[in-house]
Amino acid sequence: MYTTELDKQRHTVVTQEDPEKLAAFEARVAADDFIEPKDWMPEAYRKTLIRQISQHAHSEVVGMLPEGNWITRAPSLRRKAVLLAKVQDEGGHGLYLYAAAETLGISRDEMIEALHSGRAKYSTIFNYPTLTWADIGAIGWLVDGAAIMNQVPLQRTSYGPYARAMVRVCKEESFHQRQGYEIMMHLAAGTPDQVRMAQDALNRWWWPSLMMFGPPDADSPNTAQSMRWRIKRDTNDELRQKFVDITVPQADALGLKVPDPDLAWNETKGGYDFGAVDWEEFYAVVRGEGPVAKERMKARREAWESNAWVREAAAAHAEKKAAKREAA
C-alpha cells in the first residue's frame, strides 16, 4: 500500500516536469552520462539524491561512534593507531558526502538539523552496541564489507559529485575491510576465549549487516525509480546476495560459523540460499528503536552543541580574511 501511494506521488511529480527536458535528461542517463550540479534535473531526482546522499553522510558520521568507543581500549599501540585512522576516515567520508549533497541546493545546517530532529535516517547498523574488541574486527570485516558491496557500484551512479566522492571512499573502505578481517584472523587463531569472542561478534553482527542493504526489493519503495535513473546500479536483494556469497567463504577461512541454519550452497543459482532476515527488527530500528539509538543521537547532538565555538571561530576567521581581501 505504502509503495503504491509513494509511486503514485512520484509519478505525479515526474509527469509535471517539462516533457522535452525530461526526455533529454533520461536519454543522458540512459547513455551513462554523468549529471552535474548545473544541469537540468527533475525535482524528484534532486530530492532522491538529497535524501540518499545526506543519509549516507549521516551514516558515516554516526558510524564513527561505535568504533570511537574502542579507541582508548584498543589492545596495542598499533591497533589504536589503525583504529584512530579508520575513524578519522569515516569523518572524512561524511564531509565528502555532505559537500556532494550541498551541490544539490541544500545547506549543511539543514541536513544536520534533519538528522538531529529525527527526520533524516542513518544506517540501522550503527544502532547496535560494540561490546567487545572483537566487534571492531566484525565491523571492519562485515559492516565495511557490506558498505563496499553497496558503494563500488555507486562509483557509477548517475550524479557526478556523488560518483566522484564514492571513488575516494571505496579506496579507504577496502583498507577498512582488510583491517577488520585481520583482527578477526588474529582472534580466530588465538586462545579459546579469543575464538569465542570472534564467534560471538559474528553472531551479533551477521544479521544486522544483511539489513544494511535495505528492505527486500518487493518492499522497497525507492528502488524501481532509483534504478531507472541510475542512482542505484543494483537492487537491495542483488547486493545482499553478492555480500553473502563473498562473505561466507571468508567465515569458513576463519573457522567461524555463520549463524544461519538455513545457509546452503545452491549449485543451480551459483550462490548461497540463506535464512529469512527479521524485517520486523529492521523496521523497529529504522523507527529509532535500535538498542543504542538514543545514545547515538544524544552523542551527536552534544558534539554539535559543544563544538559550536569551532564553527563560529572558523566563520569569523573566514569573514576577516574576506574583508582583508576586499580591502586590498
Helix (H, G, I), strand (E, B) or coil at 298: helix
Could you say which residues in the range 166-195 bind ligand BYC, by CB under 6 A? none
In the complex, minimum distance from the CB of residue 269 to ligand BYC, in angstroms, rounded to a whole number: 22
In the complex, minimum distance from the CB of residue 215 to ligand BYC, in angstroms, rounded to a whole number: 5
Could you say which residues in the range 125-144 bind ligand BYC, by CB under 6 A? 143-144
Output 196 or 245, the one with its CB closest to ligand BYC: 245
Q: Whose CA is closest to 146, among 171, 162, 125? A: 125
Residue of 199, 220, 241, 247 interacting with ligand BYC (CB under 6 A): 220
In the complex, minimum distance from the CB of residue 316 to ligand BYC, in angstroms, rounded to a whole number: 31
Q: Is 47 in the site for ligand BYC (CB under 6 A)?
A: no
Phi/psi at 284 (5° precision): -65, -40
Output 44 or 286, the one with its CB closest to ligand BYC: 286
Other CB atoms within a 10 A radius of the CB of residue 137 amount to 27
Output 5 or 252, the one with its CB closest to ligand BYC: 5
Q: Is 211 in the site for ligand BYC (CB under 6 A)?
A: yes
Output 221 or 271, the one with its CB closest to ligand BYC: 221
Q: Is 234 in the site for ligand BYC (CB under 6 A)?
A: no
Structure-block grid coordinates of residue 156:
557509477
Interacting residues of 279 by C-beta distance below 8 A, sequence separation 6+? 215, 216, 219
Q: Is the dihedral of CA 191, 197, 203, 209 positive or negative?
A: negative
Residue keyed to cell 540518499? 52
Farthest-apart Cα atoms in the chain, separation:
73
Q: Is 297 in the site for ligand BYC (CB under 6 A)?
A: no
Q: Which residues pair with 35 in a beta bridge?
A: 159
Q: Whose CA is closest to 41, among 117, 104, 133, 113? A: 104
Q: Is 29 in the site for ligand BYC (CB under 6 A)?
A: no
**Binding region for ligand BYC (CB under 6 A):** 51-52, 55-56, 59-60, 63, 90, 121, 123-124, 143-144, 147, 150, 211-215, 220-223, 226, 232, 236, 286
